[in-house]
Structure 1
Amino acid sequence: MARKLPSSPQEIIELLRRRIWWMIIPFCVVAALSVAIGLKLPKQYQSETVILVDPQKISTEYVKTAVTSDVTERLQTIKEEVMSRTRLERIADDLGLYKESRQSGGLNAVVRSMQKDITVDVIRGSNAQNPVDGFKISYTAATPQIAQMVTKKIADLFIQENLRVRDRDAQGTSLFINDQLAKVREQLQAKEEQIKAFKAAHMGALPEQEGSNLSLISQYQAAEQANSEAIDRANQERTYLRSMLNMNGASNTNTPVTIASPMEMQLQAKRDQLSAAQQKYTDSHPDVIRLKSEVASLEKQVAHQGTKGPSLSGAGTPSITQQLQSQLVANDQEIKARIAKQRELEAQLNRLQGRVENLPAVQGSFQDLNRDYSAMQKNYESLLEKQQISGMAAELEKHNDSESFRILDPANLPAQPSSPNLLLIDAGGVLAGIVFGLLFAIAIDMRDPTIHTAEEFTNYLDVPMIIALPSITDEMHASLGHRP
């Protein structure tokens, strides 16, 4: 006969009543085993320390920090550095940790075990400006003293690594800006030399010299006009002298006549030039000043010649023909000199006009050079400002006035083990004992072919039940024995 599992509360209660000891014994065994196992498990102690993230002491409006990375990212970087193989090996060697792991798996097993026992929890901030208020470091060890020492060492490593990372970033930023500044300075100097060479190659044709070129063109044009008029007067004088020479060519008379000397004629020509120049320019003009000086010099020479020169009358006085020929020679020399000067003035005018005509092309090239130079200069000035800022940021890091890590709660010496959790183990043992005892009682009852109740009789046997007697207990026996 295959027994069925109890399905109603009454059947379950009857099963528990029949098999109560089959439940109590497994329960006690399992509960006792759980307590014994909890007592035998190795105790672990956990020490904790809280590190606060102190913000920068000086307002960022005055001094900007050179470390731009977020504190969360920097904390992750520092954690990876502190939890590295080299750092953890040094701590394990100093304190003689994980001797069993060292013997079985070497240093790699030691590092893995130590990384598993270290916990770093970030304490989130309450606002966006301070996303992290701090972090908590905990370490689990077999003794309270080891847990405290290791936690303290790890906290010190976090603080030192934060200072090193910030100082490295600040120094790296400063070095990078200084290197870029040196490069831009070299480029700026090269561009300045290029501009100097360009100015030297186009001297007189630069954009800022346009006004002076136009002024010089006007002056040379006026000088050319005055010199042309002087040439015309000299040509007229030459024509007059030749006509006089032709008229007196056959005459040998020595009659005194008043004929202007070559110097006097030159003086008259200079006076004419001065008069023409004074009509166009003011007295402060260079040409007017120069002509006045030449006229004064010639007047002194003519006056000196008049007092000490030979008389035009009497014996030894040159003839009229000789005087005319002398004046004609002087006239020819003057004409040649003025023609040469006219060519020189025309060459100068052509050169100045060429500069003015070439000015747009020169101006375009010069503007390109100036544009590049201005851009480099702005970049240089910007780098100078950044250099100053990075220098102040480096000083900020040097004096520890920037964002820093500060121990809020030092590593504690744990008084109670953090594991194993005996209460949890005992509660689990009790629950397991109840479950195991119930299952064991049900298993024993399922193997018993005895029919205990009328309900079981009707459920298991397909025959009608004639009579059912109640169970006779000790109390019933006692009551039956006392009947009269």
Structure 2
Amino acid sequence: MLGHRTLTLEDYVSILKRRGWMILIPVIILPIIAFAATFLVAPQYLSQTLVIIEGQKVPDNYVKPVISSDLDSRLASMKEQILSRSSIQPIIERYNLYSGKSMSMDDRIDLARRSIEIKPIASEIAHSSGLPGFFVSFKAGDAHTAQLVCGDITSLFLGENLRSREASAQGTTDFLKSQLADAKRNLDEHDAKLANFQRQYIGRLPGEEQPNVNMLTSLNTQLDAATQALSRMEQDKAYEEAMLAQQSQSFQSSSTAGLSQPGTRQTRELELQSLLSQEADLTSHYTADYPDVIAVKRKVADLRREIARTPTVTGAQVSVAFPNRNDSMAVQQLRAQIHSAEIGIQAKRKDQAQIQSQIGMYQSRIQSSPLVEQEYKELTRDYQTAQTFYDDLLTKMNQSKMATDLEKRQQGEQFRVMDEPNLPDAPFSPKRSVFVMGGLVGGLALGLLTVGLFEYSDTSLRNERDVWAFTKLPTLGVIAFSDVISDVAPQGRFALLRRSFSRRLSKPSATPVGG
């Protein structure tokens, strides 16, 4: 009564005793059929090689590798390149793969790709980075062909790794070289701008403020000394002219006029000396734009013009302009001293003018230093940035050159064949043990399914639980097994049971129910 009531362990044992042959037959037949089918499947031979990945032979502290991409990604990229049509088709044509099948070249290429397997080896060392190596395998119908094709594919991996690393290193070097040339041009431009700026503002550059202040202080001291010396020289000259006027005898007739004129001139010259001393004192403390300095300079200029317009009719001047052979020795000495004093005064005034010009120049430098310093900082900042960028690129390019040379000499990371492609002794597939095991499992499943279907469709009543599940009526009694009933046909047997049940049900309801 499978499917009509819950089965117990006794039910399962009973079913197994009745229908065990339905399970045993497919369990025996299907493995035999599967084993026989292995002789009908074309054998496949698997050739495999081991490629290990050797690190760079030169320590990274000396030559840093320029290829920083992950090995897994590079291996995947190389796999796609090697499995491309341009790489697979020559191998198919060289060994005439899958020629016995009526397939197009595209189908043959797809079949070859499925026959190639790249299996990375996971590192067993804890905290290790990268892959220690990978397996390359190829399946073919002939053992020798599988070995040769596996060797060719491995050679493609080795060559592609060398080409890709060398091309990557060379590309990095070329890129850095072009960037370095641009950085050098940029650095030269900033260098030229900085040099022109230094030539244009020489003496006003940052760091020269204190020397300019010291020089300005020294020039002011020199100007004071020159002004005082000029004042003394003019006083000496005025005294000598007065002495000459007193001793000159050639202009006695005009003594009255001559005495009034020199006195006026001497007074103005003394006033000029006082103004010059005042100007030197103010200049040492203030700039040329200070109002008092401008006023004093204006007075000095006006007084000098008045002195220049004063008629030179004094006795000393006439004597100097027109020397007389009858003059005494003292008069001649005075004239010589006056002439020498005039020359010294002119030289001292020239020195004074030069010092004042230098003072104005240094004052202008000090005043313009903040603006020059700001512009100079901008230029030097751009120059330092360009210089740092250039030095960094130069270092990287030198490292890239060494890495490129290392790759060309095959001293960098390399793929090395640890085990050559093997010549398989036995076919990789079909595996007879797998086929037999599959047949065994399939036969068992088929037998169980057959038994289940038969039991589900079987309506025989074999025990009290079957009666209760079929009629939902309690059992009043159990009829013992009889040989007579066993000889009756199944239809008659079922009718007999029905009549027996009818008689039991027709008894009075007071009759106790049997368990």
Partner of 1:385: 395
Partner of 1:204: 203
Asked if structure 1 preserves the Cα contact closer than 8 Å seen for 2:2 and 2:452, the reply is no
- 1:30-45 aligned at under 5 Å gives the runs 30-45=30-45
Partner of 1:425: 435
2:362 paired with 1:363: no
Residues 31, 209 of structure 1: alpha-carbon distance in 2 compared, 3 angstrom cutoff: closer
Aligned-partner SS, 1:135:
strand
Asked if structure 2 preserves the Cα contact closer than 8 Å seen for 1:15 and 1:442, the reply is no
Deviations 1:249-281 (A, max 9, x none): 66369xxxxxxxxxxxxxxxxxxxxxxxxxxxx
TM-score (norm 2): 0.67
Asked if structure 1 preserves the Cα contact closer than 8 Å seen for 2:176 and 2:397, the reply is yes
Among 351, 354, 359, the residue aligned to 2:361: 351
Among 8, 12, 18, the residue aligned to 2:15: 12
Distance in 2 of aligned mates of 1:191 and 1:442: 94
Partner of 2:234: 235
Residues 391, 249 of structure 1: alpha-carbon distance in 2 compared, 3 angstrom cutoff: same
Distance in 1 of aligned mates of 2:406 and 2:2: 87
Aligned-partner SS, 1:41:
coil
Distance in 2 of aligned mates of 1:233 and 1:62: 78
2:51 paired with 1:61: no
2:382 paired with 1:372: yes
How much has 1:140 moved relative to structure 2?
Answer: 1.2
2:161 paired with 1:162: yes
How much has 1:407 moved relative to structure 2?
Answer: 0.7
Residues 122, 244 of structure 1: alpha-carbon distance in 2 compared, 3 angstrom cutoff: same
How much has 1:381 moved relative to structure 2?
Answer: 3.0
- 1:67-216 aligned at under 5 Å gives the runs 67-99=67-99, 104-107=103-106, 109-125=107-123, 126-216=125-215
Asked if structure 2 preserves the Cα contact closer than 8 Å seen for 1:38 and 1:426, the reply is no
Asked if structure 2 preserves the Cα contact closer than 8 Å seen for 1:171 and 1:394, the reply is yes
How much has 1:245 moved relative to structure 2?
Answer: 5.4
2:325 paired with 1:317: yes
Asked if structure 2 preserves the Cα contact closer than 8 Å seen for 1:15 and 1:445, the reply is no
Aligned-partner SS, 2:117:
strand
- 1:381-420 aligned at under 5 Å gives the runs 381-420=391-430
Residues 243, 78 of structure 1: alpha-carbon distance in 2 compared, 3 angstrom cutoff: same
Asked if structure 1 preserves the Cα contact closer than 8 Å seen for 2:27 and 2:444, the reply is yes
What are the ranges of 5 or more consecutive residues in structure 2 without an aligned counterpart? 253-322, 488-515
How much has 1:56 moved relative to structure 2?
Answer: 2.0
Asked if structure 1 preserves the Cα contact closer than 8 Å seen for 2:45 and 2:426, the reply is yes
Asked if structure 2 preserves the Cα contact closer than 8 Å seen for 1:458 and 1:464, the reply is no
Partner of 2:482: 468
Name whichever of 325-334 and 378-387 sits farther off: 325-334
Distance in 1 of aligned mates of 2:455 and 2:133: 61
Distance in 2 of aligned mates of 1:332 and 1:37: 139
Deviations 1:440-469 (A, max 9, x none): 5676788899x7978899798999747601
Asked if structure 2 preserves the Cα contact closer than 8 Å seen for 1:221 and 1:349, the reply is yes
Deviations 1:352-400 (A, max 9, x none): 1211232233233323333333343333333333333222222222222
Distance in 2 of aligned mates of 1:401 and 1:219: 69
Name whichever of 403-412 and 338-347 sits farther off: 338-347
Deviations 1:405-444 (A, max 9, x none): 1111111111211112222112222333344355556767
Name whichever of 232-241 and 170-179 sits farther off: 232-241
Asked if structure 1 preserves the Cα contact closer than 8 Å seen for 2:139 and 2:146, the reply is yes
TM-score (norm 1): 0.71
Aligned length: 406
Aligned-partner SS, 2:424:
coil
Asked if structure 1 preserves the Cα contact closer than 8 Å seen for 2:26 and 2:443, the reply is yes
What are the ranges of 5 or more consecutive residues in structure 1 without an aligned counterpart? 254-314, 473-484
Deviations 1:119-166 (A, max 9, x none): 111111213344311111111112112211121111111111111222
Deviations 1:295-338 (A, max 9, x none): xxxxxxxxxxxxxxxxxxxx972647899778767755654554
Partner of 1:281: none
Asked if structure 1 preserves the Cα contact closer than 8 Å seen for 2:2 and 2:455, the reply is no
Deviations 1:202-256 (A, max 9, x none): 1122234445434543443343233323332343244335434544566369xxx
Distance in 2 of aligned mates of 1:129 and 1:135: 16
How much has 1:105 moved relative to structure 2?
Answer: 4.6
Asked if structure 2 preserves the Cα contact closer than 8 Å seen for 1:454 and 1:468, the reply is no
Distance in 1 of aligned mates of 2:346 and 2:456: 151
How much has 1:116 moved relative to structure 2?
Answer: 1.6
How much has 1:54 moved relative to structure 2?
Answer: 1.3
